[in-house]
Structure 1
Amino acid sequence: MPDNNNIIKAFSNLENVTASTCVQVCDLLSNSVAIFSSIPKLSKNITNCTCVKSIWEIFYKMNDPKNPPTCSAQIHITPFGLSTCKHAAFLNPNQTKIPQVALISVPGSGNSWTRCLFQSLSGILSGSVYWSQQNFEMGLYGEMEPWNSRRTTFIKNHEWPEQLKDNVPMKDEFAPHIDKFVVLIRNPLRSALSDFNRQSLSSHITGFHNMQDFTKQATEGKKRFIDIFNSQLDLFLDQTTRYTQIDKPVLYITYEDMIDNLFAQLMRIVHFLGLDDDVNVLERSICTILKNRRKQPTKRTHKIDPSQFARTLIDRNLTIKRLANIDRILRNSKLHYLRIEDYFADLGYS
């Protein structure tokens, strides 16, 4: 039941007050939600504003038979509400509630974005076996922490077979330190394009500005697109085979599923980590979705879509056979499946 102290009537029956004023008042009162209603009456608008401490109180408020909102009620999240999922901290290395979780993916699958979502959702810093200054500067402050310090979780690892850099563990050295695995998968054409951008332009986000530059780099550059695509398919199969056979808990999530229904996928992660009884995490989940939605319009700065040319570089028949094999392995394991029709269609196969 809602706590009446968490619901405040900011003002009622005032004439011609705007929704932005309601949001400002509730924000000053350190409330997450502003519920604003406006009722036309002759030449005036009679307005009401209710401030709600917790986002989750909305559900009770909307179903309160004694004081239901009017049909014209508008629900706004205040700047204070959006700040509730802003900060994340290191774990106490001696704690036992939060498991050590790995986030496994092929490069370009949305690993860094998923880590940012996790931090916003849980309030816990995500780690990595790699040290990326770029990721650190975007708010992944667990990036420079030793991956096995137990002060972070949701630890990024692509598990390339040739991982031989200093401080980067081989997969057989990594797995014994991990309690659970989250495996992130994405349309292989799109993940390869994203990683090709990273290797060519040092960024997943900034794309090529014209087709001539992309074509030249993809076919003549030091890192050709087809080489990246084929090596990623090899890694995709290797990871699928490995994590459908490992004797530890595994959760598969799909990049495209997160785009389509982020809340459902966040709840799957929350449940897998055993955090679904934490009211703060549930509150942060709504904040995370709203904050992510605000960022989406400026997320990508691609000037062109090179996928049509990229398809011409791929052996589509061989790729389709390999993806069908990966899908079969996943379905037989009953852990997950590929969005195979979508992936085939993106390859130009119908």
Structure 2
Amino acid sequence: MLLTLLIIIYLTTLNNYSDSVEISSSLSKSSGNFCIDPTVLPSPRPLTAFVSFPGSGNTWIRYLIQQSSGYLTGSVYHDATLAMKGFPGEGISNGSMVIVKTHEHGPSGRQFFTKAIFLVRNPFKILLSEFNRRSGGHLGHAPVSKFTDTGWKNYVLENVDHWSSFTLDWLNFKGPLLISRYEDFLNNLKGELSRVLSFLEVNFTDSGLDCVDKHRNGWQRRPQHYLPFDPFSMPSGNSSSSSSSLRQVVERKRKQVYQALNNFLRQSGQLSSISELP
């Protein structure tokens, strides 16, 4: 089924999407699908970006959106592993996809999108998650020894700045922008998923959400792994803050960015459906 679906999507991409595209309902379940076998949208739509900084948990949320909406999610990248394990929309960024994953920013990164969902996650969790992915793949973990050398410190100092500039940049997006928190999917999966699906203007059912909740992990979530120490306790060695730990450096950035996000939530009227970030 997966190979057939990849061929169909490839052909629709060559033809800039066709309204007449149909995928046979007799096709068997592809890898990673528990509630529904997602397909392309019945008619093309303007592109909706699914925006996140690497390490925010976008793979898991894409899985939840596919399984609850019944539509495939695309990406401006092509990850062969994801393409073969439940995300045949990898590498597809046209109107046949319900959302299109991107880690890009700046005017060139935003220009092709009409709407956007920005996935927010605590930067401490982001930095750990992405560091683990770089060392252990989508579901693996970095060896404990890697958290004790200068490579970890340099990674944190560089990437917390990137996370800050990336997040603040997307608040300049001119179209409809929904802020969605990874933590809200953990604590209120059906409520937050309903909020996202309503923004996407796709139909969903209570029974469908119940199924997704039951199979919430799929294969897309990295198992929890606890380090025997706090990796952010390492001195930053920053000339501007030589006495600060990595935790203090990241916390200062977090407060600055969360203040900007909360201001955006107030101005956009989203505080009626999402609480302020702490």
| Alignment TM-score, normalising by the size of structure 1 | 0.59
Percent identity for Structure 1 against Structure 2: 25
Residue 317 of structure 1 aligns with an amino acid whose one-letter code is: Q
Contact 1:125 1:152 in 2 (8 A): yes
Quote the residue 1:289 is aligned against.
213
Q: What pairs with 1:191-202 in structure 2 (closer than 5 Å)? A: 191-201=126-136
| Correspondent of 1:305 among 217, 221, 226 | 226
- Matched residue of 1:258: which SS? helix
2:215 counterpart SS class: helix
8 Å Cα contact 1:126/1:155 also seen in 2: yes
Letter in 2 for 1:289: D
The one-letter code of the counterpart of 1:268 is: R
Is residue 102 of structure 2 the alignment partner of residue 173 of structure 1?
no
Match of 2:187 in 1: 260
Higher relative contact order (CA 8 A, sep 6+): 2
What residue is the counterpart of 2:4 in the other structure? Answer: none
For residues 323 and 338 of structure 1, the distance between their equivalents in structure 2, rounded to whole angstroms, comes to: 13
Q: Which residue in the other structure is 1:152 paired with?
A: 97
How many angstroms does 1:290 deviate by? 1.7
SS in 1 for 2:209: helix
Matches within 5 A, 1:32-51: none
- In the TM superposition, residue 307 of structure 1 has moved relative to its aligned partner by 7.3
Deviating more after overlay: 228-237 vs 108-117: 228-237
Residue in structure 2 matching 1:206, options 131, 136, 140:
140
1:323 equivalent among 254, 258, 269: 254
Q: Is the 8 A contact 1:184 1:252 kept in 2?
A: yes
Amino acid at match of 2:120: I
Is the 2:67–2:212 contact (alpha carbons within 8 Å) kept by the matching residues of 1? yes
Does residue 118 of structure 1 match 2:118?
no
- Which structure has greater strand proportion? 1
Q: Distance in 2 between matches of 1:141 and 1:120?
A: 13
Distance apart, 1:282 and its partner CA: 4.5
After superposition, the Cα gap between the structure-2 partners of 1:84 and 1:301, relative to the gap in structure 1 and judged at 3 Å, is: closer
Secondary structure in structure 2 of the residue aligned to 1:328 = helix
1:338 CA displacement? 6.2
Query: Which residue does the alignment assign to 2:117?
Result: 182
- Which of the residues 7, 25, 36 maps onto 1:86? 36
1:267 deviation in Å?
Answer: 1.0
* Mapping for residues 235-254 of structure 1, pairs under 5 Å: 235-254=162-181
Q: For the residues of structure 2 that align with 1:300 and 1:239, how far apart are their CA atoms? A: 24
Q: Does 1:109 align with 2:56?
A: yes
Is the 8 Å Cα contact of residues 122 and 281 (structure 1) preserved in structure 2? Answer: no
Letter in 2 for 1:259: L
AA aligned opposite 1:158: H
Which letter maps to 1:182?
I
SS, match of residue 153 in structure 1: coil
Determine which of 104, 116, 137 is the counterpart of 2:84.
137
Q: Which runs of 5+ in 1 are unaligned?
A: 1-82, 161-170, 341-350
Q: Answer yes or no: is the 8 Å Cα contact 2:75–2:90 preserved in 1.
A: yes
Cα distance in 1 for partners of 2:139, 2:276 equals 25
C-alpha distance in structure 2 between counterparts of 1:117 and 1:183, whole Å: 15
Structure-2 change in CA distance of 1:181 and 1:123 (3 Å): same
Check 1:310–1:175 CA distance in 2 against 1; reply closer, same or farther (3 A cut).
Answer: same
SS at 1:134 equivalent: helix
Structure with larger Rg: 1
CA displacement 1:210-237 (0-9 Å, x = unmatched): xxx422x23448xx22233233322322
The structure-2 alpha-carbon separation of the partners of 1:131 and 1:307, relative to structure 1 and needing over 3 Å to count, comes to farther
Name the count of aligned residue pairs: 229
Residue 281 to residue 180, structure 1, CA distance change in 2 (3 Å): farther
In structure 2, what is the Cα distance between the partners aligned to 1:89 and 1:300?
26
Which has the higher mean CA deviation after the structures are superposed, 224-233 or 188-197? 224-233
Q: Tell me the secondary structure at the aligned position of residue 49 of structure 2.
A: strand
| d(CA) in 2 for partners of 1:237, 1:299 | 24
State the shift of 1:91 in Å.
2.6
Contact 1:84/1:284, CA 8 A, preserved across alignment: no
Tell whether the 8 Å contact from 1:193 to 1:307 is kept in structure 2 after alignment. no
| CA distance in structure 1 between the partners assigned to 2:223 and 2:197 by the alignment | 31
| Cα offset, 1:108, TM superposition | 1.0
Equivalent position SS for 2:173 = coil
